[in-house]
Structure 1
């Protein structure tokens, strides 16, 4: 396949909106080999290791750990990469290392297949999070000897947990960083700096982001603000595309906004909320989807858990298990995620009813 076929820079905005980024077209096996080699380099000789989701919350945790311990080799890992990250750390970390796992919640027991190997190999494993854990997975992690602290997902982000649990007197800028990170991660949006942090963490490399917040805290620099402003031109155009193709569906007692596109899901969800949606489903060209709730729908994680995912009551992610070959992906792109949309809408329909106290009851 010619490189130019997947070159993002030559795609029109309309095509970029409905197709995945060029990284999608590299085989997982090729990326896995590269990722494992990079992990080996990161972990060799590291006394403190941080496995973290490379978003604003996970990277804020990394910055806090480095400030507290004077070091912290970062191994970035998204929710679907947790098993590999644990396995590589078990294989390549130093025996006397302390390992922190931050802002990651296992979706199933298979995500934890290498956990006992890790706890047997290293000196200490600490887990900070704020997502919704099942009792079974929590017990499995605890039995492995992990020091696990999970904050209330409606009150704190993982950076808040790290700030409280780490044995260190932090400067005020780190408390401010955690507060601004929480403002975005919990979708409070009362601090205008929080959107800047979230966008910059997405568009910059993890080490660049950590270096910036170590120097400036959540206020960033003028150069960074200029960079964000330039990137937001395309971001806003992609958001508009996704909002324009959205539809509102009545699903049981809720109005669910459903759309498709490569876009910033939070801004799309906010636009759909303003149109009357209780919840929003944003299906991505790469096959994953984001589910966002509101004050009238706080069960996003329950929907996601039915379709290979998890998360918070108001913010969750998933990737429906519906892609058997490239023809399925071709159908996904040309129908703008029709099968994935229906799988997630069906998950809304299967939610058990709640009683008057918010407790699930069978339909």
Structure 2
């Protein structure tokens, strides 16, 4: 197959919006081999290893831990790289790095030219945590301090073997997170010998949790980093700088982001701000394309905005809420989907839990297990995610039925306790019960 067929940088915006990025078309076996190579190189001779999600929240934790160890990488080696990217974007409006997978490729290629930190970064996602832990256990030196940040396993048995192997070579294992953990999974992780700290998902980001958990007197700039990261991660939208952090973490490789915030905190260098501004022109166009495809569906008591496209899901969700949606579903060309809630809908993680996912009450993600071969993906792209949309809307219906059943049970319980469901406070009582469930 010709490279041009999967080169996202050469696509028109309309096609780019509807197709996955270049990295999607790499076989898992090849990607796993590359991941193993990256981990082996990163952890060689390391004093500590941080396995973290590669968004701004997870990478902010890496920056904190490197500060703890006095292991922050200098910014200078990255400055020329980003200046070259700015020049390319100013000249053509295109960049081979437009997907995180490609950014990782460049990071691997440039690794020999950069200083290395004794606190190694191993990037992972919700679906690759087991693989990351396995690679750490295989390649990291014995006696390391191991940290796991901004990641939550759906089930303990999914990572049990790999976590045990990593624990066996580590001097200590600390896990910081703020997602929704089941009591059973949290208990199993702690029983395995991990110091697990889970913050309140609607009050803290993982940078907050890490900041208060590490035994170190951090300067005020780190408190500010936690506050600005939280502003985006919890979608508070009170500090414009939080969008800069989130976008930059997505558009560049992980090591560059960690070096930037490690050296400058939230006040990013001018060349970084210039790069972000250039990238946002296309970002806005992709958001507009996704919003234009959206439909509003009524599911139980909720209005659900559903759309498809490669885009920034949070901004799309904002636009759909402005159109009256209580919840938003953004189906991605790669087959996954983001579910966003609001004050009127705080069950996104419950919906995602029915379709192979999880997350927070107002922000969750999933990837339905419905893709058996490339014909299924071809159907996905040509129908703009029709099957995935239907599966997720069915999950909304299941959650609506569960809420209705819970409300009926509450009414029956009140009646059994002698309360009169027919008095003038009945509607208010029912609403309060629903609020408590949400």
State the TM-score, normalized to the length of structure 2. 0.81
Partners of 1:334 and 1:359 lie apart in 2 by 41
1:165-215 superposed Cα distances (whole Å, 9 cap, x missing partner):
001111111000000000000000000100111001111111111111122
Q: Of residues 143, 161, 168 in structure 2, which corresponds to 1:120?
A: 168
Q: Of residues 92, 103, 107 in structure 1, which corresponds to 2:150?
A: 103
- Partners of 1:42 and 1:74 within 8 A in 2: yes
Q: Secondary structure at the match of 1:49?
A: strand
Q: Which residue of 2 aligns with 1:75?
A: 122
For structure 2, the 5+ residue unaligned runs are: 72-118, 408-431
| Higher RCO by CA contacts (8 Å cutoff, separation 6 or greater) | 2
Partners of 2:160 and 2:26 lie apart in 1 by 26
State the TM-score, normalized to the length of structure 1. 0.97
Q: Of residues 337, 342, 345 in structure 2, which corresponds to 1:297?
A: 345
| Aligned-pair CA distance for 1:150 | 0.2
Root mean square deviation of aligned Cα: 1.2
Q: Which residue of 1 aligns with 2:94?
A: none
| Aligned-pair CA distance for 1:112 | 3.6
Q: Of residues 67, 91, 115 in structure 1, which corresponds to 2:138?
A: 91
- Partners of 2:64 and 2:262 within 8 A in 1: no
Q: 1:112 to 1:236 in 2, by over 3 A?
A: farther
- In the comparison of the two structures, how many residue pairs are matched? 361
Partners of 2:263 and 2:169 lie apart in 1 by 35
1:291-347 superposed Cα distances (whole Å, 9 cap, x missing partner):
001011111111111111111111111100000000000000000001111111111
Q: Of residues 304, 311, 326 in structure 2, which corresponds to 1:263?
A: 311
Partners of 2:159 and 2:283 lie apart in 1 by 32
Pairing 1:325-344 to 2, within 5 Å after superposition: 325-344=373-392
Partners of 1:138 and 1:302 lie apart in 2 by 18
Bigger CA drift: 347-356 or 71-80? 347-356
| Aligned-pair CA distance for 1:143 | 1.1
Q: Which residue of 1 aligns with 2:95?
A: none
For structure 1, the 5+ residue unaligned runs are: none
Q: Which residue of 2 aligns with 1:169?
A: 217
Pairing 1:3-22 to 2, within 5 Å after superposition: 3-22=3-22
| Aligned-pair CA distance for 1:359 | 5.2
Partners of 1:113 and 1:107 lie apart in 2 by 15
Q: Which residue of 2 aligns with 1:28?
A: 28
- Partners of 1:106 and 1:112 within 8 A in 2: no
Q: Which residue of 2 aligns with 1:139?
A: 187
Q: Which has the larger radius of gyration?
A: 2
Q: Which has the higher helix share?
A: 2
Partners of 1:336 and 1:147 lie apart in 2 by 43
| Aligned-pair CA distance for 1:121 | 2.1
2:267 paired with 1:219: yes
Q: Secondary structure at the match of 1:50?
A: strand
Partners of 1:225 and 1:120 lie apart in 2 by 43
